[in-house]
Amino acid sequence: MEYKNPIGVNIDLETGVIPGAKKLVRRLSSLKGYFLDEEAYNELLKDDPVVYEVYAVEQDEKDGDLNFATTVLYPGKVGKEFFFTKGHFHSKADRAEIYYGIKGKGGMLLQTPEGKAEWIPMGPGTVVYVPPYWAHRTVNTGDEPFIFLAVYPADAGHDYGSIAEKGFSKIVIEENGEVKVVDNPRW
Ligand code: S6P
Ligand code: ZN
């Protein structure tokens, strides 16, 4: 029997960086079609800001193994809509996931394949259990980076398709200085 070596790493709790992890950068240009206000999107695209970064420690896609990753989701809005991650189902749809809030303020939108949505507010110390079959997207509702850890089965995979097409049935916006979770008019 060949055993893998255990890993112990310290997450930088201020920046979310995991030493030695694979870094992925998502700029606004990679989120075309995701936000409702196209005019505001095109205006902001001139600067093409970084919306989020992911630091992932991933294993081969095998049943029973685990990946972990931090996400640093920057503050910002496109029109009224707060910056968010793309959001996805898992390719193996029954694979669950755990999130742990590290820094900043935000929340998670979750959605069943039928379009039933839930909003869970998140801050430092919040644990969110993402059950099998639920799509999930995080949203930064604060004014500093929202940083969290995700732990997920190594064979979960990402299925971005239907969310990229239709989004979630709810959107998270700022209205009169308040955070509101409202019906998505495009749904
Ligand atoms: C992976 C986990 C997270 C996200 C990351 C970026 O299952 O849910 O690491 O990949 O927050 O979000 P997205 O939707 O662009 O993959
Ligand atoms: Zn996931």
> Which residue blocks in the chain are alpha helix, DSSP H?
38-45, 161-166
Q: How confident is the model at residue 97 (pLDDT cuts 50, 70, 90)?
A: very high
- By most ligand atoms within 8 Å of CB, the mutation choice from 18, 25, 54 for ligand 1 is 54
Q: Residues 131-143: what's their mean pLDDT?
A: 98
Given this model, what pLDDT does residue 70 score? 99
Strand order in the sheet with 97-103: 22-27, 50-57, 66-73, 146-153, 97-103, 127-130
Given this model, what pLDDT does residue 141 score? 99
Phi, psi of 38, deg, nearest 5: -70, -35
Cβ count near 32 (within 10 Å):
12
**Angle at the Cα of 165 (from 108 to 24), degrees rounded to 5?**
60
Given this model, what pLDDT does residue 167 score? 97
Distance of CA 117 to the CA centre of its chain: 15
Rounded to two decimals, the pTM is 0.98
Cβ atoms of 55 and 21 within 8 Å: the answer is: yes
- By most ligand atoms within 8 Å of CB, the mutation choice from 65, 67, 85, 163 for ligand 1 is 85
Q: How confident is the model at residue 162 (pLDDT cuts 50, 70, 90)?
A: very high
Around ligand 1, the residues with Cβ closer than 6 Å are 54, 69, 71, 85-88, 97, 136, 138, 150, 152, 156, 158
| Average pLDDT of the chain, as a whole number | 98
CA 141 – CA 136 distance, rounded (Å): 16
- Under 8 Å CB-to-CB from 100, ≥6 apart: which residues? 125, 126, 127, 128, 148, 149, 150, 151
Tell me the pLDDT tens digit for each residue of 56-95: 999 999 999 999 999 999 999 999 999 999 999 999 999 9
Q: Ligand 1, atom 11: nearest CA belongs to which residue? A: 71
